[in-house]
Amino acid sequence: MNSTGTAVLASAQPPRKLWLDHVQEWLTTVDHKRIGLMYIGYALIFLVVAGVEALLMRIQLSAPDNHFLSPEVFNCMFTMHGTTMVFFVGMPILFGFGNYLVPLMIGARDMAFPRLNAFSFWISAFGGLLLYFSFLGGSGLYGAGSAPDVGWFAYAPLTAKLFSPGHSTDYWTLSILLSGIGSVGTALNLIVTIFTMRCKGMTMTRLPLLCWLYVVTSWLTFLALGPLTAAQIMLCLDRFAGSHFFDVQAGGSAVLWMHFFWIFGHPEVYILVLPAFAFANEIIPVFSRKPIFGYPAMVAASVLIGFISLGVWAHHMFTVGLGPEGNAFFTLATMIVSVPTGIKIFNWLATIWGGKIRFATPMLFSIGFLFQFLIAGLTGIMLSVAPFDWQLGNSYFVVAHFHYVLVGAILYMIFAAFYYWYPKMFGRMLSEKLGKWHFWLFTFGFHLTFDTMHIPGLLGMPRRVFTYPADRGWAMLNQIETVGGFIQAIALLLFVWNMIQSYRTGKEAGPDPWDAWTLEWATSSPPPHYNFAVDPVVHSRRPLWDRKHPESPDTHYE
């Protein structure tokens, strides 16, 4: 905005870059680091937007018979909140970190398909914009409806033209379709990059665990996004072309939609959680000063989780009435997921055990993650018992369960990842002091909100009600949840402030501020455009350890 032609003429030697030059550089970049940062930045913006939507809902629910939001707006809010958080915060932020880190960690100069990478980012980004354009354009020609209001899983027949006139549902369908194209593109890119562009000496058994987890996540993305896209296209045909896939009156099936959605939806939650595991695998060892415990078991467990998570989707459909065989199968399958998941938790604990632990902010968030993920898994197992689910399905207990995972586990590891890799990305440390405030405040708010949320669920409060009568005894609990929500929001603001402030005044990080072991720390912070001037060569899983300790390299032990 301060850019003028004269500025250039005036400046003497190095022609200062105009504001527009910077914009052009970012718009045309095919550099995996910049694309990664754009993914992350765009996800953070949507995180704030969807966070505001959550707070609006919390205000509405903080008192019985409240009229802060109308029922219609409330429906839009929970739909937009869920859709945004899953498709335009969770996936892009995780793909952003993957984009940034994977080539650096395997000693490559870029992703396998740099232009596809840019395309994938932009189409996801435009998908998000299209979704939010619905606030303006959702009424379409019919003057009915605004933002989508059919819930993040958009069950039939609610999405039929009859019940959802106007175009709000179409905005939901099409924006997810677009972002799905981007997700598949990035997944393809990550897999090919990891399989073909590892530096010399980096066999698959020396691959950083983060990259292994991105392989599994990317496979799940392939498998899950297909059914979702197919379902979205069928829904479009129903709505635009008069077909009847999900129209029960005309011989279609509403349950068909559920199957399609959840055969995407459950793998999707693992697509989101596996990168969180990935961060934990890198951060916990470095801050325990020990190599990861049981590398092969960790790889096997990750691959197993990927497989099993493809066969549990109907635990989201117990209340439909699956019949005894269906109930038994999906209960058992769901419970089996906890075996490899348990292996992981024990391995993380064993990594920490006896280590020389440094309680820096990344480690604090990782420890929070361990505890909270454990509890979330336990409520998950409770819900996997069909008769229990018949009581609590669609109640606030479920909402508490999945927020425990999505916030307590995934968002915690995302925070940890920021504190850990921000110095690499921007060359400056985040403030530890603000970081600790952020952690403790957020943890307090998180437990206030989401521990409490289990109780109204057990008391029978259904999810997605815009208000409740005073005589149910849920008011106090909901008030506590709302207060916790605002505390989390304040902590989040601290975090945003920390990122802005540290960018300008943070302590210089240097190439390797954490005394870490993987290749991204072998280059400068931020890394040069080409990552490594000389192609690295590795001989073990911890190349930087070998370099720092030539007297006792890992190669002797692996």
Per CB under 8 A, 200 contacts another protein: yes
SS3 per-residue string spanning 312-379: CHHHHCHHHCCHHHHHHHHHHHHHHHHHHHHHHHHHHHHHHCCCCCCCCHHHHHHHHHHHHHHHHHHH
Give dist(CA 203, CA 194) in Å, integer.
10
| Two tokens, residue 505 | 């005044």
Residue 522 lies near another protein (rule: CB under 8 A) = yes
Neighbours of 81 (CB within 10 A): 21
Q: How far is the CB of 110 from ligand HEM (least distance, A)?
A: 31
- Find which of ligand HEM, Cu ion, another protein, none residue 109 binds, CB within 5 to 8 Å per kind: another protein
Sign, Cα dihedral of 94, 301, 180, 165:
negative
Backbone torsions φ then ψ of 395, nearest 5 degrees: -110, 175
Q: What letter would DSSP give residue 198?
A: P
Give the three-class secondary structure for 162: coil
Torsion over CA: 282, 286, 288, 291 (sign): positive
Residue 19, CA distances (Å) to 2, 5, 7 in order: 7, 11, 11
Based on the shown chain and the rule CB under 8 A, indicate whether residue 533 belongs to the binding site for another protein: yes
In three-state secondary structure terms, 82 is: helix
Nearest residue (beta carbon) to Cu ion: 266
Residues 168, 145: contact at Cβ < 8 Å? yes
406 is in the binding site of which of another protein, Cu ion, ligand HEM, none (Cβ under 5 to 8 A by kind)? ligand HEM
Q: Which one of 68, 122, 388, 426 is in contact with another protein (CB under 8 A)? A: 122
Q: Residue 381 Cβ, how far from ligand HEM at the closest point, in Å?
A: 4
Candidates 21-29, 248-256, 441-449, 488-496 — which segment interacts with another protein by CB under 8 A?
A: 21-29
Candidates 486, 480, 472, 491; CA nearest to 454 is 480
* Closest CB 113 distance from another protein, rounded Å: 9
Instruction: Report if residue 266 touches Cu ion, rule: CB under 5 A.
Output: yes
- 199 near another protein, rule: CB under 8 A: yes
Residues making contact with ligand HEM (CB under 6 A): 153, 269-270, 272-273, 315-316, 334, 337-338, 341, 377, 380-381, 383-384, 389, 393, 398, 401-402, 405-406
**Quick check: 110 binds another protein (CB under 8 A)?**
yes
Rounded to a whole number of angstroms, the minimum distance from the CB of residue 268 to Cu ion is: 9
Nearer to Cu ion, 198 or 266 (CB): 266
Q: How far apart are CA 455 and CA 405, in angstroms?
A: 17
Q: Which residues sit opposite 532 in a β-bridge?
A: none
Q: Is 27 in the site for another protein (CB under 8 A)?
A: yes
Work out which of 40, 147, 202, 407 binds another protein, going by CB under 8 A.
202
Closer to another protein by Cβ: residue 482 or 523: 523
Cα gap 121→103, rounded to integer Å: 17
| Shortest Å, Cβ 242 to ligand HEM | 30
Q: Which does 140 bind (CB under 5 to 8 A by kind): Cu ion, ligand HEM, another protein, none?
A: another protein
Per the CB < 8 A criterion, the answer to whether 372 and 326 are in contact is no
Q: Shortest distance, CB of residue 384 to Cu ion, whole angstroms?
A: 9
Among another protein, Cu ion, ligand HEM, none, residue 364 binds (CB under 5-8 Å by kind): none
C-alpha dihedral (217, 221, 227, 232), degrees to nearest 10? 130
> Which residues, at least 6 apart from 137, have a Cβ–Cβ distance to it below 8 Å?
167, 171
Structure tokens at 390: 């018949």
C-alpha 57: how far from chain center: 21
What would the two tokens of residue 58 be?
Answer: 């919390």
How far apart CA 284 and CA 289 sit, in angstroms, is 8
Q: Pattern of binders to another protein over 326-365, x per CB under 8 A? A: ----------------------------------------
For residue 269, the minimal CB distance to Cu ion (Å) is: 6
The residue (of 126 and 402) whose beta carbon lies closer to Cu ion is 402
Q: How far apart are CA 319 and CA 328, in angstroms?
A: 14
Nearer to Cu ion, 330 or 439 (CB): 330
The entry of another protein, Cu ion, ligand HEM, none near residue 272 (CB within 5 to 8 angstroms by kind) is ligand HEM
Nearer CB in complex with ligand HEM: 125/269: 269
Nearest residue to ligand HEM by CB is 380
Query: Which segment (90-98, 355-363, 454-462, 531-539) binds another protein by CB under 8 A?
Result: 531-539
For the bound state, the minimum distance from the C-beta of residue 194 to another protein, rounded and expressed in Å, comes to 12
| Near another protein by CB under 8 A: residue from 11, 70, 196, 394 | 196
* Residues facing 462 on adjacent strands: 395
Q: Which is nearer to ligand HEM, 173 or 518 (CB)?
A: 173
| b (16+ CB within 10 A) / e for 106-136 | bbbbbbbbbebbbbbbebbbebbebbbebee
Interface map 158-177 toward another protein (x if CB under 8 A): ---------x--xx--x--x
- Helix axis angle, 32-61 relative to 475-505, nearest 10°? 150
Residues near Cu ion (CB under 5 A): 266
Residues near another protein (CB under 8 A): 25, 27-31, 108-110, 114-119, 121-123, 125-127, 129-130, 133, 137, 140, 167, 170-171, 174, 177-178, 181-182, 196-203, 236, 240, 519, 522, 528-530, 532-539, 543-544, 546-547
